[in-house]
Amino acid sequence: MTELLQHIQGPADLKKLSIDQLPQLAQEIRTAICDQVSKTGGHLAPNLGVVELSIALHYVFDFGHDRLLFDVGHQCYPHKLLTGRLGLLSKLRTREGMAGFPEPRESPFDLFSVGHAGTAISTAVGMARGDLLQHKEGEQLPHVVSLIGDSSIVNGIAMEGLNNAGTLKRQFLVVLNDNGMSIAKPQGALAGYFDRIRVSHTYEEFKKRAHELFARLPGGTTLEDLYNRAGTAMKAAVAHNHMFEQFGLLCVGPIDGHDIPTLIDMLNEIRDYDRPVLLHVKTVKGKGFDFAEGDATTFHSPKPFRVEGCRVEIKGGGRSFTSAYADAMIDLMQRDEKVFAVTAAMPDGTGLSKVLPMFPERSLDTGICESHAMDMCAGLAKTGLKPFFAVYSTFSQRAIDQVFQEVSLQNLPVRVCMDRAGFVGGDGAVHHGFMDISSFRVFPHAVLLAPCDEPTLKAGLEFMRQYNDGASFIRYPRDNVAEKPLQENTPPFELGKANLVRASRSDKPDVAILGYGTMVYEANTAVNELVQQGYDIALYDARFAKPVDIELVAQLVEKHIPVLTIEDHALAGGFGSAVLEAAHDAGLDTTGIHRMGMPMKYVYQDSRKNQLAEVGLDSASIARKVRSILESRAAHDVQVRVGVTPTRAGR
């Protein structure tokens, strides 16, 4: 156990340490985080880069009373250790341990459960206004601090927040953690702007430019008054012509984000300024470990790894859907010169890091701006190209308006490829892809499809390449592809047609299961159990959530065969709902159609396997559901035979 860190039960214990002791604490925090992430995986490089900054913030502010809001919440591990959660670190990203993102259920020091970029400034503005409005005379007004990182400042929402922050007439601090990185290498003109801004390391260097810079800032007597109140470091660190000055913020820095004494001095000076301030801090992503500093993209959120001397070995875990997607895209781009690949700051997470260097003229990482990326894809499609936008399911939600206005309304064939659909495991509720079907199937001419393994992923992407009648959306999970596909020969995708992957023994099976996406494999395991128990089950790979295979559904319903739909998506508006709606519109009896999917609740961090079991979407639960359907049906038939009017209970 570490010497200083083990005694930190909260920020009050941190404040008992001398400033000279804080570098040792920083090293202990780094070691603790690196040791744990090497065992369980998790966000490493972004947390290593904010250790000193997190210490300084908690040393100066009182976040039991003050407000600390995180943007890109994956840089919160040091904050959690400083707020008494060392005991939860050993079970990082599991239900019993520490969440990988800020989590209010875990601690009152976490104000929002947050894992999307660009949100902290806006929510902080709301809290700043709310606190001011409800502030009582004689009480201390809470300070408000937003910690921004990994280039999320370029996100459109962040800019909207800054635009409103500049109108505040009270203390408000935005800390810009500029580490020269996004999740991958930062993209866009703003990244180049930050690269050109150097760090001022010493007070002597500050002093050389102090009076000249402060005197040239706009604002007249107000800023002159601030100058008279400021200390030496503050005066000299004010940045003239910093771009965010135009938003009405006093911009300070950049300063060294790993120099604890300077950070503490600067934060002490800024803390009580009664106007919005932006503190620009330069840090090194992955700080403290050469392998993480040298390859911050790989070690942004690695799987478990082992360090052997100068070599670091990341543990393998089978072939992922992400890797399969990358290879399938390379094949498409080699065969079709009109295919254009796009991602929004997630080249590694979506597999496009393999595509970008091979096709530099026909691929692009836009940075953290999903709305822009979707609109850009609409523009590409308008010119006749075939854009494929690789994006996490949870991040595709950030571009729904663009799908509506620029894609669907223009009936443009943009292809959206959604990784991390369904349950995502350790990232938890902030990243589950639970609403992509319900979000996108409302759009006219849109097609929604899902593969169950690597061959169907390839076939689905090939279908999308040729589909030009509207937008198309494919979803696949953060999981490995099956080592052995269910079918030796995968038939091509036909619009709105399901595929029989496991035939029943008779023309009238006991139940027909329609699995959507990888739930086909969970269902197949359940069928193995059911067959051994004497049941006769037909299993279909549904393939399409829009349009559903209504001909197949009609055949099953007309034969009085119970139908069970299974999906790794919310029941509300999902694949099962689409089947029910299509059956109702076709005038079919829907009482024999049953659904399984995500319940109406948030499911927190754990393994994907445990999450499926928790909500009853694992193979054992599917088998129980089938038996329940058949037991209810048998009871219903008995009631009919004896002349009792059946109730709807159990259906």
Q: Render pLDDT for 369-399 as a digit per residue (tens, 0 to 9).
A: 999 999 999 999 999 999 999 999 999 999 9
Q: Is the pLDDT of residue 56 over 60?
A: yes
Residues with catalytic roles: 285, 370, 398
Domains of the chain and any CATH numbers:
60-75+100-289 (3.40.50.970), 321-475 (3.40.50.970), 499-641 (3.40.50.920)
pLDDT of residue 465 exceeding 90, the answer is yes
Pick the range with the lowest mean pLDDT from 235-239, 532-536, 560-564: 235-239
Flag whether pLDDT at 211 surpasses 90.
no
Listed residue (395, 348, 338) closest to 372, CA to CA: 395
Q: What is the pLDDT of residue 153?
A: 81
CA distance 298 to 336: 30
pLDDT band (50, 70, 90) for residue 201: very low
Mean pLDDT of the chain: 89
Q: What is the pLDDT of residue 405?
A: 95
409, HSE (Cβ side, Cα atoms, 13 Å)? 8
Nearest partner of 50 among 283, 252, 256, 271, judged by Cα: 283
Q: Is the pLDDT of residue 207 over 50?
A: no
Q: Which residues contact 264 (CB under 8 A, 6 or more apart)?
A: 19, 56, 59, 60
Secondary structure in 3-state letters for 315-338:
CCCCCEHHHHHHHHHHHHHHHCCC
How buried is 638 (Cβ within 10 angstroms: 0-12 exposed, 13-18 middle, 19+ buried)? Answer: exposed
pLDDT at residue 545 above 60? yes
* The pLDDT value given to residue 173: 97
The pLDDT value given to residue 204: 39
Residue 202: its pLDDT value, please?
41
More confident residue, 496 or 635: 496
Residue 486 Cα distances to 419, 454, 482, 510, 624, angstroms: 22, 11, 8, 21, 22
The pairing of beta strand 363-365 with beta strand 339-343: parallel
Q: Does 220 score more than 50 pLDDT?
A: no
Rounded CA separation 395/422 (Å): 13
Backbone dihedral region for residue 213 (phi beyond 0: left; psi -120 to 50: alpha; all else: beta): alpha
Predicted pLDDT at 197: 53
Q: What are phi and psi of 69, to 5 degrees?
A: -120, 130
Distances (CA, A) of 321 to 3, 353, 380, 611: 43, 14, 26, 19
> What confidence score (pLDDT) does residue 464 get?
98
Q: Provide the percentage of residues in the chain whose pLDDT is more than 70.
A: 87
pLDDT given for residue 221 in this prediction? 36
* Whether the Cβ atoms of residue 291 and residue 307 lie closer than 8 Å to each other: yes
pLDDT band at residue 354, thresholds of 50, 70 and 90?
A: very high
